[in-house]
């Protein structure tokens, strides 16, 4: 019997930390999402009221929510794919170049990674400024506003997102590739496999656990994107065309102290991300590779 | 497994005991509280605070000389984070100040939160109280209660470049139609310039057009509001200020454009004078009230500005009222104009200022012609934060929606926010 309890008390310290840092806030988030909870309620000017699913109803009946959700999913998907493509490509490149270029590439990537999101976005904004930007001067397109068209604005913000998040993918995958035994790759080469084929049929299957981490991380990061959109499109772009879910939540709820509604958006985001993660992990398991 | 479930259930039970935190506002002493001690005052920090601080310190010296045993502790709070500071002060009465400066558009939110005290009796008892203009007073009144004394206002008017107008032989516009024609003429003759700098995010330049046409924020889809909005969005066009460049401009950006000499006209505030004087337009501009659609009329301006109020939790309300009326009085209002360019709210003080400085004349004319205000409703914060008005303007200016669609949509959002 005592044996059975051992795992429990061993888990206790972690459970306390996780409970305090994750479960309790999540519980509060869920609770506030079913309350009428605004600034007036926080400071005690009006009583807090239980409103059931009203906040959710308000959210789901707002057509803007659905279009923002769609845009967020599309934008996040594009960013994840682009980040992985760039990160994986450069990781493979890192394994094939000599020491000095490798060092330079790593340093450049680390620098991009280290730049705080707000500064990075602002610098890119300077580069792409309508009247004084370097890019417009280079292309001879002075007066072209990159943020005017919805897709060019998303593309530009997406580029900044990829720029700041590919280094993580690159470094992680590079470490993974380095860990693959040389003999396997050599055997493939001796059998006449092309680089492309080696990548897809040798490296990718062996990197599956690493890839899983990288993909889930990227999905979570890109789905929750805030800073780049908020800074670069000045809070959601022309007429809100570049809103993503997090910026929308901030604008609709937190900036106007509608904490109940904001929490409802938070709960919805959390459920979506959980669902995506669980589905992804399940498909990985199904395909036979233990993680 | 069972045990694990039980633990989870026990954990869940202990958690349900905690509800989100809510503070209970304390009651202010009815006898006016202590007449001695330290009075805590919050004023807004400014980019160039020194002149403001000097005037305030002078007022503090006068106050402490007249009130034995008192001290005034002034804190300058950052404007960007004022909302958090005020929310904090409402939630934690112990660390809250007695007298506060706050933006007049923030009033309903603070009032609904129950954070501000009624200053009606103090103003009635104040010798200069009768001198407050009704417009100014109503901008500080929420649900029939006066919750602050307007300390200063800011209004916008039409800045124009005298040199360009002279060169092109243009007359100073006296109606919106003339303004539009003059703007297009400038753009046609000098394509590197904008006629009048207008922006999709510059709500307070657009609203005068709507108000002038007889519309309002609470009736955005009325025929009048639509006509006003159209008059404004017609200016965001290739023949004046192309949507590519202007649809996402904020008010601040239009100030930059006018100041740097890239626009022949701009709808700027009295508080933007220093910025314009620091740019290429210095010495080459004049100001007139923004014209309305009828020739010779003036479009109603938005009366932005700051109020001085007393916190409900203040333990020295009587002392706080004394300090407030001193700082908001004629003497310090006109000194604040000299120091910061803030337009006085007391008629006596604006007369003093107008006599001294010709520059304020168009602004004072605009104010005396009647000003408008945003809806005094806690829902305004939501409308503002979720960018309802800029979105409406931008949708029309970029051709994403018709005036009808955009105004219908915005009106729905405004209704939803206000009736809540």
Are B384 and B364 within one domain? no
**Cβ–Cβ pairs < 8 A, chains A and B:** 115
pLDDT in the model for residue A172: 93
Residues 129-168 of A with CB under 8 A from B: 130-131, 143-145, 147-148
pLDDT in the model for residue A288: 56
B285-288 and B141-142 as β-strands: parallel, antiparallel, unpaired? unpaired
- Per-residue burial over B18-32, b if 16 or more Cβ lie within 10 Å, else e, is eeeeeeebeebeeee
Read off the pLDDT of residues B298-342 as tens digits, 9 standing for 90 and up. Answer: 999 998 889 999 998 888 889 999 999 999 999 999 998 888 888
Are B277 and B163 within one domain? yes
Q: Tell me the pLDDT band of B74, cut-offs 50, 70 and 90.
A: very high
What are the φ and ψ backbone dihedral angles of B117, each rounded to 5 degrees? -95, 155
* Pick from A221, A103, A247: nearest CA to A164: A221
Range of the domain at B394: 156-302+377-418
- Inform me whether the pLDDT recorded for B285 exceeds 70: yes
- Inform me whether the pLDDT recorded for B224 exceeds 90: yes
Close Cβ partners of B99 (under 8 Å, ≥ 6 residues apart): B39, B40, B41, B42, B308, B309, B310, B311, B314, B320, B323, B324, B327
Say whether B113 and A45 touch across the interface (CB within 8 A). Answer: yes
Domain count, chain B: 2
B301: β partners: B371
A238 inside 8 A of chain B by CB: yes
Say whether A256 and B245 touch across the interface (CB within 8 A). Answer: no
* Separation between Cα atoms, residue A148 and residue A131, nearest integer Å: 13
Close Cβ partners of A32 (under 8 Å, ≥ 6 residues apart): A259, A260, A263, B20
- Of B99-103, B130-134, B398-402, minimum mean pLDDT range: B130-134
Chain B environment of A266 (Cβ under 8 Å): none
Closest residue in B to A7 (Cα) is B4
Say whether B245 and A145 touch across the interface (CB within 8 A). Answer: yes
pLDDT in the model for residue B89: 86
Q: What is the mean pLDDT of chain A?
A: 87
Are B67 and B177 within one domain? no
Are B338 and B397 within one domain? no
What is the H or E stretch that residue B172 is in?
Answer: none
Q: What CATH number did the domain enclosing B414 receive?
A: 3.40.190.10
pLDDT in the model for residue B59: 94
Averaged pLDDT for residues A123-141: 86
Chain B environment of A44 (Cβ under 8 Å): 22-25, 90-91, 114
Closest CA–CA distance from residue B38 to any residue of chain A (Å): 24
Closest residue in A to B416 (Cα) is A58
Averaged pLDDT for residues B177-199: 94
A262 inside 8 A of chain B by CB: no
B247 inside 8 A of chain A by CB: yes
In a domain, B196, yes or no: yes
B214 inside 8 A of chain A by CB: no
In a domain, B340, yes or no: yes
Are B181 and B123 within one domain? no
B398 inside 8 A of chain A by CB: yes
What are the φ and ψ backbone dihedral angles of B303, each rounded to 5 degrees? -95, 80
Close Cβ partners of B300 (under 8 Å, ≥ 6 residues apart): B208, B211, B212, B292, B369, B370, B371, B372
B145 inside 8 A of chain A by CB: no
Residue B333: HSE in the Cβ half-sphere, 13 Å Cα cutoff: 30
Chain B environment of A21 (Cβ under 8 Å): none
Say whether A45 and B250 touch across the interface (CB within 8 A). Answer: no
Q: Tell me the pLDDT band of B12, cut-offs 50, 70 and 90.
A: very low
B385 inside 8 A of chain A by CB: yes
Q: Tell me the pLDDT band of B10, cut-offs 50, 70 and 90.
A: very low
Are B160 and B147 within one domain? no
Closest CA–CA distance from residue B364 to any residue of chain A (Å): 33
Closest CA–CA distance from residue A154 to any residue of chain B (Å): 16
Read off the pLDDT of residues A64-94 as tens digits, 9 standing for 90 and up. Answer: 899 999 999 999 999 999 999 999 999 989 9
Among A19, A48, A236, the residue with its CB nearest the CB of B22 is A48
Closest CA–CA distance from residue B16 to any residue of chain A (Å): 8
Chain A environment of B200 (Cβ under 8 Å): 238-239
B23 inside 8 A of chain A by CB: yes
DSSP-assigned letters across all residues of B210-252:
HHHTT--GGGTTSHHHHHHHHHHHTTSSTTTS-HHHHTT--HH
In a domain, B5, yes or no: no
In a domain, B400, yes or no: yes
Closest residue in B to A260 (Cα) is B20
In a domain, B6, yes or no: no
Are B228 and B188 within one domain? yes
Q: What is the mean pLDDT of chain B?
A: 87
A188 inside 8 A of chain B by CB: no
Q: Tell me the pLDDT band of A289, cut-offs 50, 70 and 90.
A: low
Q: Tell me the pLDDT band of B24, cut-offs 50, 70 and 90.
A: low
Higher pLDDT, A23 or A252: A23
Are B177 and B128 within one domain? no
Say whether A43 and B91 touch across the interface (CB within 8 A). Answer: yes
Among B7, B11, B386, the residue with its CB nearest the CB of A251 is B386
Closest residue in B to A39 (Cα) is B113
Chain B environment of A252 (Cβ under 8 Å): 382, 385-386
A197 inside 8 A of chain B by CB: no
The torsion angle over the Cα atoms of residues A12, A16, A17 and A23, rounded to 10 degrees, is 120
Domains of chain A in start order, with CATH, are 55-286 (1.10.3720.10)
Closest CA–CA distance from residue A162 to any residue of chain B (Å): 25
A39 inside 8 A of chain B by CB: yes
pLDDT in the model for residue B1: 40
- Per-residue burial over B268-292, b if 16 or more Cβ lie within 10 Å, else e, is bbbbbbebbeebebeeebebbbbbb
Averaged pLDDT for residues A124-135: 85
Residues 212-231 of A with CB under 8 A from B: none
Are B260 and B396 within one domain? yes
pLDDT in the model for residue A144: 83
Chain A environment of B394 (Cβ under 8 Å): 238-239
User: In Å, what is the CA distance from A157 to each residue of A146, A164, B32?
Assistant: 10, 11, 56
Say whether B109 and A251 touch across the interface (CB within 8 A). Answer: no
Higher pLDDT, B361 or B92: B361
Give the mutation candidate from B17, B243, B245, B387 for the A interface (greatest A CB count, under 10 A): B387
Are B176 and B322 within one domain? no
In a domain, B10, yes or no: no
Contacts from A27-35 at CB under 8 Å and sequence distance 24+? A27/B15, A28/B18, A28/B20, A29/A263, A29/A266, A29/A267, A29/A270, A30/A263, A30/A267, A31/B19, A31/B20, A32/A259, A32/A260, A32/A263, A32/B20, A33/A260, A33/A263, A33/A264, A33/A266, A33/A267, A34/A260, A35/A260, A35/B20
- Inform me whether the pLDDT recorded for B348 exceeds 90: no
Say whether B87 and A43 touch across the interface (CB within 8 A). Answer: yes
B90 inside 8 A of chain A by CB: yes
Close Cβ partners of B306 (under 8 Å, ≥ 6 residues apart): B44, B101, B102, B103, B104, B150, B151, B152
Length of chain B (residues):
420
Read off the pLDDT of residues A185-209 as tens digits, 9 standing for 90 and up. Answer: 889 889 988 888 888 888 888 888 8
Higher pLDDT, B114 or A111: A111
A239 inside 8 A of chain B by CB: yes
Whether the Cβ atoms of residue B263 and residue B255 lie closer than 8 Å to each other: no
Are B72 and B53 within one domain? yes
Averaged pLDDT for residues A127-141: 84
Q: Tell me the pLDDT band of B139, cut-offs 50, 70 and 90.
A: confident
- Inform me whether the pLDDT recorded for B25 exceeds 60: no
* Separation between Cα atoms, residue B315 and residue B39, nearest integer Å: 9
Among A24, A35, A42, the residue with its CB nearest the CB of B91 is A42
Say whether B22 and A251 touch across the interface (CB within 8 A). Answer: no
Averaged pLDDT for residues B55-76: 92
Closest CA–CA distance from residue A147 to any residue of chain B (Å): 9
Say whether B109 and A235 touch across the interface (CB within 8 A). Answer: no
* Pick from B255, B293, B262, B297: nearest CA to B277: B255
Are B322 and B413 within one domain? no
In a domain, B269, yes or no: yes
- Of A27-31, B261-265, B274-278, minimum mean pLDDT range: B274-278
In a domain, B29, yes or no: no
Among B11, B378, B384, the residue with its CB nearest the CB of A40 is B378
Joined together, the tokens standing for residue B384 give: 């503002």
Say whether B201 and A48 touch across the interface (CB within 8 A). Answer: no
């Amino acid at each position: 019997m005592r044996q059975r309890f051992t795992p429990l008390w061993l888990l206790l310290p972690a459970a306390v930390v996780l409970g305090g840092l994750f479960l309790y806030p999540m519980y509060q988030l869920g609770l506030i999402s079913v309350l009428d909870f605004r600034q007036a309620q926080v400071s005690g000017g009006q009583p807090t009221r239980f409103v059931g699913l009203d906040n959710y109803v308000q959210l789901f009946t707002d057509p803007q929510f659905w279009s923002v959700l769609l845009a967020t999913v599309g934008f996040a998907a594009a960013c994840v794919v682009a980040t992985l493509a760039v990160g994986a490509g450069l990781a493979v490149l890192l394994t094939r170049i000599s020491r000095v270029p490798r060092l330079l590439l790593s340093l450049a990537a680390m620098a991009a990674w280290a730049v705080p999101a707000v500064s990075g976005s602002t610098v890119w904004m300077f580069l792409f400024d309508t009247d004084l930007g370097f890019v417009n001067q280079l292309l001879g397109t002075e007066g072209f506003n990159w943020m005017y068209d919805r897709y060019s604005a998303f593309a530009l913000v997406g580029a900044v997102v990829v720029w700041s998040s590919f280094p993580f993918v690159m470094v992680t995958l590079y470490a993974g590739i380095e860990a693959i035994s040389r003999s396997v790759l050599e055997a493939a080469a001796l059998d006449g496999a092309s680089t492309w084929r080696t990548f897809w049929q040798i490296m990718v299957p062996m990197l599956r656990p690493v890839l899983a981490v990288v993909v889930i991380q990227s999905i979570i990061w890109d789905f929750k994107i805030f800073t780049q959109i908020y800074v670069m499109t000045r809070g959601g772009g022309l007429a809100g065309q570049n809103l993503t879910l997090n910026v929308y939540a901030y604008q609709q709820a937190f900036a106007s102290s509608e904490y109940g509604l904001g929490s409802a958006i938070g709960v919805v985001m959390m459920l979506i991300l959980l669902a995506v993660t669980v589905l992804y992990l399940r498909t990985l398991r199904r395909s036979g590779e233990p993680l | 497994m069972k045990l694990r479930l039980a633990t989870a259930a026990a954990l869940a039970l202990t958690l349900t005991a905690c509800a989100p935190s809510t503070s209970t506002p304390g009651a202010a002493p009815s006898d006016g509280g202590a007449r001695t001690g330290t009075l805590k005052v919050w004023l807004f920090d400014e980019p160039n605070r020194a002149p403001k601080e000097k005037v305030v310190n002078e007022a503090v010296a006068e106050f402490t000389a007249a009130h034995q045993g008192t001290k005034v502790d002034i804190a300058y709070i950052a404007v960007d984070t004022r909302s958090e500071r005020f929310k904090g002060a409402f939630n934690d009465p112990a660390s809250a100040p007695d007298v506060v400066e706050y933006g007049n558009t923030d009033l309903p939110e603070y009032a609904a939160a129950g954070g501000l005290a009624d200053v009606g009796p103090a103003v009635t008892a104040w010798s200069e109280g009768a001198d407050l203009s009704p417009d100014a007073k109503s901008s500080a009144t929420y649900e029939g209660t006066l919750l602050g004394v307007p300390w200063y206002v800011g209004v916008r008017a039409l800045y124009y470049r005298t040199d360009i107008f002279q060169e092109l032989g243009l007359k100073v516009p006296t109606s919106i139609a003339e303004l539009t024609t003059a703007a297009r003429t400038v753009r046609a003759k000098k394509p590197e310039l904008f006629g009048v700098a207008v922006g999709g995010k510059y709500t307070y330049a657009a609203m005068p057009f709507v108000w002038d046409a007889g519309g309002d924020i609470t009736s955005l889809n009325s025929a009048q509001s639509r006509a006003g909005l159209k008059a404004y969005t017609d200016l965001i066009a290739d023949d004046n200020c192309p949507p590519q460049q202007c649809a996402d401009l904020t008010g601040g950006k239009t100030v930059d454009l006018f100041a740097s000499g890239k626009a022949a006209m701009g709808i700027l505030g009295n508080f933007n004078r220093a910025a314009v004087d620091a740019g290429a337009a210095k010495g080459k501009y004049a100001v007139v009230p923004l014209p309305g659609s009828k020739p010779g009329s003036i479009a109603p301006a938005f009366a932005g500005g700051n109020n001085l109020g007393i916190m409900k939790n203040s333990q020295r309300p009587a002392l706080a009222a004394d300090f407030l009326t001193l700082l908001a009085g004629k003497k310090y209002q006109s000194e604040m104009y000299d120091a910061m360019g803030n337009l006085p709210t007391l008629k006596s003080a604006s007369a003093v200022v107008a006599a001294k400085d010709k520059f304020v004349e168009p602004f004072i004319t605009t104010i005396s012609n009647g000003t408008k205000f945003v809806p005094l409703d806690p829902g305004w914060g939501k409308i503002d934060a979720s960018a309802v008005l800029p979105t409406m303007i931008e949708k029309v200016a970029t051709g994403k929606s018709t005036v009808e669609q955009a105004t219908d949509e915005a009106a729905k959002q405004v209704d939803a926010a206000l009736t809540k």
